[in-house]
Chains A and B, each alone.
Chain A
Amino acid sequence: MKVLVSIKRVIDYNVKIRIKPDNSGVETQNVKMSMNPFDEIAVEEAVRLKEKGFATETIAVTFGVTQAQETLRTAMAMGIDRAIYVPVETDLQSLTVAKALKKIVEKEQPGLVIMGKQAIDGDSGQAGPMLAGLLGWPQATFASRVEVADGRVRVVREVDGGLETLEAPLPALITTDLRLNEPRYASLPNIMKAKKKPLENLTLADLGVEPEPRLKMLRVDEPAKRQAGIKVPDVATLLDKLRNEAKVIG
């Protein structure tokens, strides 16, 4: 069985973002970029499935600017076998990502697709379930444990009240949550090896998909700042403030 993962290059989670002066978006020039952390978890899970003998081949896909190919190399340095790069000039919306991935899935016929539960730039968290819907596949989102056996996958999901276990026949789609695994670092020899792994180029036109944005970003603003607070010297003062100033406790 092939395992396909999608990865997005995003502003690194440690960066304090800046809004463009004309409020048209968030500054991405000269900012540290990394693989979306949830996609790193997806890559790690795919590589583990191969190491355990469940996957025969692992493939990573990205839609992004030229530099996104570096992110694919990172995925291959972590152990992904080959990659598919689809150039796009502007950020693709989740529905288009799902439609384009559907075409790639139809071509590659993976038994399992693993995606991030959300990209930490747009925080929209929808490409995964959208793709599952378009494919008519089972979905198991927010996975914290994945086991493959006998043509089925069993997934433990993180839900609002705790954990839930589902089982689905393959092919199926999974989105990752934080506790699924701890992604490995790529070793230097593996980074060298990754340079020789196959990286295929496809265009949206090849896939027969158009980047039809349905959501227009009118503007981006800074959220309201909280008023600076104070430090209190001791517990008694804190309680006095909470009771008599903030009036939030009795």
Chain B
Amino acid sequence: MSILVVADHNHQTLRPATLNAVGAATKLGQPITVLVAGHQAAAVAQAAAVLPGVVKVLHADDARYAHFLAEPLAALIAQLAPGYTHVLAAATAQGKNVMPRAAALCDVALLADITSVVSADTFVRPIYAGNALATVQSSDKIKFITVRMTAFEPVATTGGAAAVETVGATPCAIGTQFISQELSKSERPELTAARVVVSGGRALGSADAFKTVLEPLADKLNAAIGASRAAVDAGYVPNDYQVGQTGKVVAPELYIAIGISGAIQHLAGMKDSKVIVAINKDGDAPIFSVADYGLVGDLFQIVPELVKQLA
């Protein structure tokens, strides 16, 4: 048995999610190879080489991987996969985009978003917005897996000493073209890796309220900002703030839900947080059923008061 982990990175640094994916791979107790496919990404290959448990890094450096398009990446992964029993990646937007395609090219199923490793062929994954946990056994020769970050401890960023081996790019003639990207700029910690998350819902009522009411609290707590789908749909914050079944899954030390009702789709993305605080004017809002500490009242009074008392 040997394991291939596909790194998620930005050509300069490894994304934290990769450390969780390697953490999950470690549970399988077998030698781990990390694939770094990118463009001018030697620094990433070096970073992967020192992860504990990693025995080899495959570095594919080519302009066609510059934007992580699914077509060339899946072709590369599918070409390398037959040398491994397991191919893992974090369940990030990139993992969800590329891994199913690569799995299909190998004629195998994908185990999406696993939260636990039971054995080499059996894994647990949430279904129905996390309201049920399925234990699933794979009969495929190669197990393709995406890993829910919050369910696995990240490995340390030092300790290993793997060799870096260069691999060539796999030909791929599909004409998808990258045009542009519009990334949300923020000085705050990354949502899925933050120790504290402050999330706002429809009740905030405007983009302005996110700035004037929520941001001061996030500043005080050095928190990332999240949101419900309703707040994203209304345009108060960008799409990548959405926490939930179909957004990001977070499990910080502290999650503060402000003016969020607590629909199952939202709970799916945050109910594994260590401590949950809910602020809502409706004492019967479902969010209180998962909150450790609930405060019933108007957020426009409570949040500024909170900021003041944190000073």
Contacts and interface: CB of A to CB of B under 8 A. Distances in A.
Contacts of A246: 254, 274-275, 292-293
Given A138-B175, A216-B139, A223-B133, A129 B101 contact: yes
A159 interface: yes
Interface in A169-217: 169, 172, 177-179, 214-217
B276 A231 contact: no
A48 to B, nearest CB: 18
Interface residues of A, number: 80
B49 interface: no
B90 to A, nearest CB: 10
A220 B132 contact: yes
B264 interface: yes
Contact of A242 (B122, B180, B293): B293
Interface string B126-154: 11111111111111100000000000000
B309 A223 contact: no
B1 interface: no
Interface in A210-235: 214-223, 226-232, 234-235
B107 to A, nearest CB: 8
Tell me whether chain B's interface is mostly helix, strand or loop, or mixed: mixed
B135 A220 contact: yes
Interface in A86-141: 93-95, 98, 117-118, 120-134, 136-141
B112 A125 contact: yes
Contacts of B253: 248
A2 interface: no
A139 B70 contact: yes
Contacts of A95: 103-104, 107-110
A177 B74 CA distance: 21
Contacts of B111: 215
Nearest to B248: A160
B126 to A, nearest CB: 7
Given A124-B110, A215-B109, A231 B184 contact: no
B176 A166 contact: yes
B137 A218 contact: yes
Contact of A162 (B184, B248, B277, B292): B184
B132 A17 contact: yes
A133 B276 contact: no
B271 interface: yes
A149 interface: no
A238 B295 contact: yes
Contacts, number: 258
B101 A133 contact: yes
A142 B239 CA distance: 11
Contacts of B239: 144, 158, 162-163, 177, 179
Contact of B93 (A17, A160, A217): A160
Given A138-B174, A178-B233, A215-B137, A117 B295 contact: no
Contact of A165 (B136, B179, B232): B179
A160 B136 contact: no
A234 B182 CA distance: 40
A226 B305 CA distance: 28
B233 A129 contact: no
Contacts of B180: 164-165
Contacts of B71: 138-139
B131 to A, nearest CB: 5
Contact of B306 (A154, A161, A164, A238): A238
A167 interface: yes
Nearest to B301: A235
Interface stretch (B53-61, B158-166, B199-207, B283-291): B283-291
B2 to A, nearest CB: 21
B274 A165 contact: no
Contact of A249 (B130, B137, B221): B221
Given A123-B245, A129-B104, A159 B93 contact: yes
A43 to B, nearest CB: 17
Contacts of B174: 136-138, 168
Contacts of A167: 176-177, 179
A217 B174 CA distance: 35
Contacts of A226: 271, 276, 289-290, 292
7 contacts: A133-B104, A163-B183, A165-B180, A168-B176, A217-B136, A235-B306, A248-B274
Given A215-B139, A238-B293, 8 more contacts: A164-B67, A164-B181, A214-B138, A217-B134, A229-B291, A235-B295, A239-B310, A242-B293
Interface of A: 11, 13, 16-17, 19, 26, 38, 93-95, 98, 117-118, 120-134, 136-142, 144, 154, 158-169, 172, 177-179, 214-223, 226-232, 234-236, 238-239, 241-242, 246, 248-249
